[in-house]
Structure 1
Amino acid sequence: MEQRVAPGATDDGTDVRRHIPRTDAVLRDPRLLRAADRLGAERVKSAVHRAQQRAREGAVPPEAVADTAVALLPGSAGGLRPVLNATGVVLHTNLGRAPLSAAARQAVADAAGPTDVELDLNTGVRARRGRTALAALRAAVPAADAVHVVNNGAAALVLAATALAAGREIVVGRGEMVEIGDGFRLPDLLVSTGARLREVGTTNRTTAADYADAVGPDTAFVLKVHPSNFRITGFTRAAHITELADLGVPVVVDIGSGLLTRHPLLPEEPDAHSQLTAGAALVTASGDKLLGGPQCGLLLGREDLIRALSRHPLARALRVDKLTLAALEATLNGPATPTAEALAAEPAELNRRAERLAALLRADGVDVRAVPSGATVGGGGAPGVILPSAALSLPEHYAAALRTGPVPVAGRLEAGRCLLDLRAVPEEDDGRLTDAVRSVEGRWAP
């Protein structure tokens, strides 16, 4: 009759706990010493204690305690994990929208320590915060007399409403009263500033005359909002900025997606330069969308309005940190961003990449084929625009396995298959992508 070894005992019946190495001995392992510098001593010690407990329970042999502790440690001290974006959504909100360029990442690393963010090194006196980043933004949009930066796009609009319209009216088209995401709605956001909303027109048609009839002595400004994530087609009408510029009050335009100048692939997407030259007094936008930079809110326009906003007490609560300023400046002054490169990717080249990767994976026995795909901009940009792309088509069970793998890969499910769209995956990550796919067979059975 077969005899089982009792938990916590060796084959000869000896108590296994006598063979478990001491904590201080395990902590002297060179791998754990290096990990302590990266993650902190307490986190490493906790991993060792968990590994020792597994040995007490008989889950691992005593001699594997150090190896087990190393395996239990995270890759970094932070909780966020890098993800390969193969969803086909270039600016995926759940994945943090725009990935930073190599130049912006280096700028963030350089700014992590003490910097001259508010110090003039030549004179030794205090200087304007983020002056070089603001200068770069001003240079990128010559039509703006002045610029300011806050912590996100919604904050830019809130600051404008608070500084210019608290206790007064904002005239806005009824068809532009949008929900901006996560359940937050534009009317609620604006009313929270103390402003009153004067809605004009109808859902599908609002004319310049509708705005003109509503403007009065109590009007602070007219607001135009670019609808994000949806389009209204058919019997529609919307007033153009040029029709509203002579109403006697400022026209504030929220373009949302952060396009500073016109993009040839997105002809219907509003940009800051065009709106200002058409007569807008102030433009607000996000920095982590089509601009391809860090999360921030951009305000561009008339010098008197920007001065009023930047000196308002709320501006101090909404200001950005030095890391954001560094990333924004490098985005504006540096090479093409990953977002720009993803938008410009040629469909023929994406097809060639997909065919090549599929052939490599099929040689390893993977059920995969290259297929045409349709990508989108995302992040509220260019609703309805489909970007021709290419994808790797895999069995459905790959979706969950890839998301939870050592290198997380986010794809999408379509017609019972897992698609890995290549448009937002940089070519230099092709090796990581194929390695992640290969690893699935060893970890997951359908």
Structure 2
Amino acid sequence: MSTTDYRRLIPRTDDLLAMPGVAAAREWLSETEIRRVITEAQQQVRDGEGLPQDVGRTILERLARRESASLTPVINATGVVIHTNLGRAPLSAGARRAVERAAGYADVEMDLATGVRSTRGAGTKAALLAACPAAEDALVVNNGAAALLLAVTALGATSTWGTAANDRAPGDIVVSRGELVEIGAGFRLTDLMETTGARLREVGTTNRTHAADYERVLGATVGCVLKVHPSNFRVEGFTSGVEVAALRALIDAHEAAGGRRIPLIVDLGSGLIDPDPTIPDEPDLTGALRAGADVVIASGDKLLGGPQAGILLGTRAAVGVIAKHPLARAVRADKLALAALEATLRGGQTPVGAALHATSEELRARTDRLAEHVSAAAHTSAFEVVPHDGRVGGGGAPGVPLPGWALALPEEYAPLLRTGSTPVVPRVSQSQCLVDLRCVAPEHEQALAEAIAAVATALSTVTTVDSTTKDGFA
């Protein structure tokens, strides 16, 4: 058959567009995207790859897999609870429901009873204040870095609080050298704060900072005192720092002696509202507020277990100034984040909380069941359950182990698990692929087991083929 005749057998675009399966795909894909899939399938046959009669089936298979967004859901089998590369905190069922409810038109800034404009995020603020009674007021912005930038910009001025923003000059930001942290992707808090036009007044040394170091610099040029909880590292040995209560006492004494009121901003990052015995050294928002912070800052998608958000809690005076600053409009949270955060606060245990508090005994039992299931499906007994410490991640409780267990697989399983039909992200350590169930929801265990068994079967088939080739055809 000639090349021309062969190409005439390829189904027409109009006929392919009329297939029921293509019509169904229009619920989540644009017409342009659908036509692109059809064109690619037709061109593949023109290039001699595939048969004309398979074009329709190929298109339907590709449309079934094609999503309108490129983000791919994965199973987190690393044992790292707040994994930044995997989107940090997974949302609770309640938060997901809230996002879906708010995805269309919603009363984000309207009082339905009166029909007039209302305060944005009022429900979320109420939920925050109920969860943290030590705070007088609250504000939510789009992430933790934005919250810090807004706080030091709005409060760190050399004139009195309440003065019009245009009349206030940036004041010095006093911060300990041991708290000038760099977090993921080379992001440095120093770079962020310097964008405000303020000067950083570093006090103390990397490992030791004393109250006297702060006391020496408190003066008319100081805009604010900032205390930052270090993320992703710990300084041990010959160390000292100044706690929030001691800083509050220094600032109050400075004001009593005739100095201006200097705001105390505490960036805790991880979002722990109250003390947690699982991570006893992690500072909490309630404790910092009771110790005298004017404002505390945290991320919503870390230990709080909610969406990406920057949370500011503090005194009515301090938060009021921050909320009125023009920059607050530029960094405000959207309706989906507000809905998810409120639902997280009003709901029960989050997936982050469940993973953080999973016991070693629970994890051992679950991992043993996984090993039995996978071994039976793959017809092997080579898989071993080994001790494995999980981590909080996301800068929370750095260096604190979360005792647990993992299924140890050969290292070559890792890339195949990550790229399978159900992507699984394990941890690779010491030439092993470690599958930790700490962050795997029980309803995902079956899919995880099937993914591992599929890889085992595929590798077994490759090994058998290689062996046959060497023995029979070399």
TM range (shorter): over 0.9
1:9-408 paired onto structure 2 within 5 Å: 15-73=5-63, 74-166=65-157, 167-246=170-249, 247-248=251-252, 249-365=262-378, 367-408=382-423
Task: Please state if 1:436 is matched with 2:427.
Answer: no
Please state how far the C-alpha of 1:59 moved relative to its aligned partner.
Answer: 2.0
What residue in structure 2 maps to residue 6 of structure 1? Answer: none
Instruction: Give the residue type in structure 1 aligned to 2:101.
Output: D
Please state how far the C-alpha of 1:437 moved relative to its aligned partner.
Answer: 1.3
Cα distance between partner residues in 2 of 1:438 and 1:30: 34
Please state how far the C-alpha of 1:383 moved relative to its aligned partner.
Answer: 0.4
Cα distance between partner residues in 1 of 2:325 and 2:79: 41
Cα distance between partner residues in 1 of 2:145 and 2:395: 13
| Contact 1:54/1:60, CA 8 A, preserved across alignment | yes
Cα distance between partner residues in 2 of 1:338 and 1:399: 24
Cα distance between partner residues in 2 of 1:145 and 1:37: 45
Please state how far the C-alpha of 1:296 moved relative to its aligned partner.
Answer: 0.5
Please state how far the C-alpha of 1:442 moved relative to its aligned partner.
Answer: 5.5
Question: Counterpart of 1:89 in 2: which secondary structure?
Answer: coil
Please state how far the C-alpha of 1:368 moved relative to its aligned partner.
Answer: 2.5
Q: Deviations over 1:332-358 (max 9, x none)?
A: 001211000001111111111111111
What RMSD, in angstroms, separates the aligned Cα atoms of the two structures? 1.5
Between stretches 287-296 and 21-30, larger displacement belongs to 21-30
Q: Deviations over 1:53-111 (max 9, x none)?
A: 22223322211111111222344211101011111111010111000001000100000
Please state how far the C-alpha of 1:116 moved relative to its aligned partner.
Answer: 0.6
Instruction: Give the residue type in structure 2 aligned to 1:70.
Output: L
| Contact 2:374/2:450, CA 8 A, preserved across alignment | no
Question: Counterpart of 2:305 in 1: which secondary structure?
Answer: coil
Task: Please state if 1:427 is matched with 2:418.
Answer: no
Count of matched residue pairs = 436
Cα distance between partner residues in 2 of 1:350 and 1:229: 25
Instruction: Give the residue type in structure 1 aligned to 2:127.
Output: A
Q: Which runs of 4+ in 1 moved over 6 A?
A: none
Cα distance between partner residues in 2 of 1:20 and 1:431: 40
Q: Deviations over 1:291-338 (max 9, x none)?
A: 000001010101111011001000000001000000000000012110
* TM-score, reference length from structure 1: 0.95
| Contact 1:150/1:298, CA 8 A, preserved across alignment | yes
Cα distance between partner residues in 2 of 1:81 and 1:290: 23
* TM-score, reference length from structure 2: 0.89
Between stretches 191-200 and 244-253, larger displacement belongs to 244-253
Cα distance between partner residues in 2 of 1:101 and 1:390: 24
Q: Deviations over 1:154-188 (max 9, x none)?
A: 11110011112252111111100111321121111
| Contact 1:287/1:297, CA 8 A, preserved across alignment | yes
Distance change >3 Å, CA 14–CA 240, structure 1 → 2: closer
What residue in structure 2 maps to residue 4 of structure 1? Answer: none
Give me the identity figure in percent.
Answer: 53
Please state how far the C-alpha of 1:443 moved relative to its aligned partner.
Answer: 5.2
Q: Deviations over 1:117-167 (max 9, x none)?
A: 100011111100010011101111101110101110011110011112252
| Contact 2:183/2:232, CA 8 A, preserved across alignment | no
Cα distance between partner residues in 1 of 2:189 and 2:26: 47
